[in-house]
Every structure is written in C-alpha cells, then in structure tokens.
Amino acid sequence: MDKSKRFEIQQDECRQSFRATMAIFGRKTPPIQVGDRFTKANDHTRKVWEVSRLWTAVDGVPHARLVNQHETLMVSVGTLNDQEFFVVVPVKRNEP
C-alpha cells in the first residue's frame, strides 16, 4: 500500500474516532474537518493554516492541530469557529 493510501486511511480513522468521542460527550460534531484551511484574523501575512488533526481533550473540549510549513498551532474548535480569531479559506476544487 502506498503512502497516500495509508494517509487517507489514517485520516478516515481519525475522523471516525473524533466523531465517536463527540457523541459520547453528547456534543455535535463541528463542521471543521481535517484538511480545512484557515488564516488568523487580522494577520497581514495571510499565512494559511491547515487542520491536520482533530481530537477531544480530557475535559470534552474538541481541539484541532493546525500546520503551516514548519509551524504548528493547537486551538479549540470553538476558537476556529470564532471569526475574531480565524477566517475560513475557501478550498479550490478541480471539478470536471
């Protein structure tokens, strides 16, 4: 199995685990998914941060790991949904 296929399988397993954990705590699954992209609000450099991992902390609060080249951020999903902190970057899709 090639690396890209293994990565896709790992992403799917991560999403399923995250959704199951959210259901246990009686919370709705946030609309944020692995691969979603954001920029920090009021950041003039316009760095694009991509969600690489989602998980729920021991207190039941969902979090996301954001990556940008060699940098990593970890923030709550609530913070990502707050437009005072982050803005969604539309994904360009190649459709036939």
User: And the tokens for 81?
Assistant: 């949904």
pLDDT of 87 reads 92
Between 50 and 11, residue with greater pLDDT: 50
Query: Is residue 94 in some structural domain?
Result: no
Span 67-94, mean pLDDT? 88
How far apart (Å, rounded) are the C-alpha atoms in residues 87 and 40?
6
Domain count, the chain: 1
Query: Is residue 95 in some structural domain?
Result: no
From residue 88, alpha-carbon distances to 13, 48, 52, 78, 79 in Å are: 24, 9, 15, 13, 12
Q: Which residue has the tokens 């760095």?
A: 47
Query: Is residue 96 in some structural domain?
Result: no
Least confident of 6-20, 35-49, 76-90: 6-20
- State percent of the chain over pLDDT 70: 64
| Domain extent for 68 | 3-89
**92 three-class SS:** coil
Tell whether the model's pLDDT for residue 17 goes beyond 70.
no
Query: Is residue 39 in some structural domain?
Result: yes
How far apart (Å, rounded) are the C-alpha atoms in residues 94 and 79?
29
Neighbours of 18 (CB within 10 A): 23
